[in-house]
């Protein structure tokens, strides 16, 4: 299994995340994609990767989480674990609980969690998802912690934006892949400002509309 970690100016938790993941024998490579961090932080991220043997560092010039993930995905050969770079107090139990369902035949295993800061991007789209995709019973559709089998990720068309995690879920669902969710408890990550949250909301709703055949005209 390989890991993809996109990051834009998030580095304070990255060392712990990479070092912890490198301890797992199942993990062969950790792809860390710097997506537009400022120069000083980019150098820190690069050093973190240099210090962890399984890490590979990339710089993605196109802004957007989807662009960063796409850059790394085309360099993977195995199943993939996706992890966010800003998880405070990351521990291996957060991700190892996702492996068992994958080994038992599920193709996409999403982490269900509660953010300690009270924010939730999933709340922006849950009602629409349940209305338009009633068979998709996922509580955390936009979460950035999940495992995907090779079958899911080998034929994806990804947006450049921050709706990429939702897009992977919807594409897997539309193609009939087996999807489940595992509760990993409480996750501590950074607080996002209102402008960032509003932009995320716009991107997520556009993604839901795209896969449910609803036009965005006039929105």
In this predicted model, what pLDDT tens digit does every residue of 147-170 receive, in sequence order?
999 999 988 899 998 889 999 999
Q: What is the pTM of this model?
A: 0.89
What are the phi and psi torsion angles at 77 (to 5°)? Answer: -130, -5
Residue 100, classified by CB atoms within 10 Å of its CB into exposed (0-12), middle (13-18) or buried (19+), is exposed
pLDDT of residue 216: 47
What interhelical angle do 194-212 and 164-174 show, nearest 10?
Answer: 20
Query: In the chain, what are the domain boundaries?
Result: 2-212
| 8 A C-beta contact, residue 15 and residue 48 | yes
CATH class, 2-212 region: alpha beta
Of the listed ranges 40-54, 62-76, 205-219, the one predicted with least confidence: 205-219
């Amino acid at each position: 299994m390989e890991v993809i970690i996109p990051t834009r100016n998030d580095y304070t938790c990255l060392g712990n995340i990479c070092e912890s993941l490198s301890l797992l024998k199942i993990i062969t490579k950790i792809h860390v994609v710097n997506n537009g961090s400022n120069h000083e932080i980019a150098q820190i991220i690069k050093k973190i990767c240099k210090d962890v043997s399984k890490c590979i560092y990339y710089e993605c010039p196109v802004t957007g989480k989807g662009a960063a993930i796409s850059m790394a995905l085309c360099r993977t050969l195995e199943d993939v674990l996706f992890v966010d770079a800003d998880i405070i107090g990351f521990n291996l139990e957060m991700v190892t609980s996702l492996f068992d369902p994958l080994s038992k035949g599920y193709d996409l295993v999403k982490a269900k969690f509660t953010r300690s800061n009270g924010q939730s991007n999933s709340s922006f789209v849950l009602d629409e998802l349940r209305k338009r995709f009633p068979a998709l019973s996922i509580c955390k559709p936009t979460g950035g912690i999940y495992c995907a089998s090779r079958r899911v990720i080998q034929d994806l068309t990804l947006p450049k934006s921050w709706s990429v995690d939702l897009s992977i879920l919807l594409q897997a669902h539309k193609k009939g892949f087996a999807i489940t969710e595992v509760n990993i408890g409480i996750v501590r990550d950074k607080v996002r400002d209102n402008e960032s949250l509003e932009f995320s909301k716009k991107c997520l709703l556009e993604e839901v509309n795209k896969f449910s055949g609803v036009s965005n005209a006039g929105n």
